[in-house]
């Protein structure tokens, strides 16, 4: 069976590093998906680091995911997203998700609404056993919330 792919938002990493979930939602996501993050989420994570120990912890948390970067050939797509008057970093993350045709796992779905990506709320990760079940539930949820 093919393991589904997903982009993991910075908030999921922050919860892993500083949160209360045991096991962390990042660990659960890694068990259910082939996980990516983006260079923009990495930038956001490093903005929270205050010392070398914290920077190492952030690097370690990202070691098990592939980090996606920006490709200049899609500048028009990103320009269109940024023009929607949304948070620029969120628009750039959404652009990478759209470019890779990947859903986004996040605890802040409202920040990505209207950017043309499938948003997967983090609460679904603990509720379902497989990545496919999680994506199906997220699809059903978005069909009901329109």
The 10s digit of each residue's pLDDT in 49-74 is 999 999 999 999 999 999 999 888 88
**Which range of residues forms the domain containing residue 79?**
5-145
Query: CB under 8 Å to 94, separation ≥6 — which residues?
Result: 81, 104, 112, 115, 116, 117
Average pLDDT, the chain: 91
pLDDT of 19 > 90? The answer is no
**What local confidence, expressed as pLDDT, does residue 145 receive?**
53
Q: Which of 5, 24, 2 is nearest to 15 (CA)?
A: 24
Q: What is the CATH number of the domain that holds 30?
A: 3.40.50.1010
For residue 63, the cross-strand partners are: none
The share of the chain scoring above pLDDT 70, in percent, equals: 96
pLDDT at 117: 95
Does 144 or 35 have the greater pLDDT score? 35
**The predicted structure's pLDDT at residue 105:** 98
Q: Which two tokens stand for residue 33?
A: 């998906």
How many other C-beta atoms are found inside a 10 Å radius of the C-beta of residue 76? 8
Which residues have CB under 8 Å from 98's CB, separation 6+?
77, 81, 115, 116, 117
Q: How many domains does the chain have?
A: 1
β-pairing, 34-38 with 119-121? unpaired
User: Is 142's pLDDT higher than 80?
Assistant: no
């Amino acid at each position: 069976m093919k393991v589904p792919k997903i982009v993991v938002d910075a908030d999921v990493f922050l919860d892993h590093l500083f949160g209360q979930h045991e096991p962390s939602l990042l660990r659960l996501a890694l068990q259910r998906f082939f996980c990516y993050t983006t260079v923009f989420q990495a930038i956001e994570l490093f903005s929270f680091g205050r010392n070398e120990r914290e920077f190492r912890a952030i690097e370690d948390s990202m070691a098990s995911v592939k980090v996606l970067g920006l490709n200049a050939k899609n500048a028009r797509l990103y320009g269109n997203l940024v023009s929607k008057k949304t948070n620029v970093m969120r628009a750039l993350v959404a652009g990478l998700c759209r470019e890779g045709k990947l859903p986004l796992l996040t605890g802040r779905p409202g920040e990505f609404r209207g950017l043309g990506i499938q948003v997967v709320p983090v609460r679904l990760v603990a509720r379902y056993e497989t990545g496919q079940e999680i994506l199906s539930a997220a699809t059903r949820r978005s069909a009901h919330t329109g």
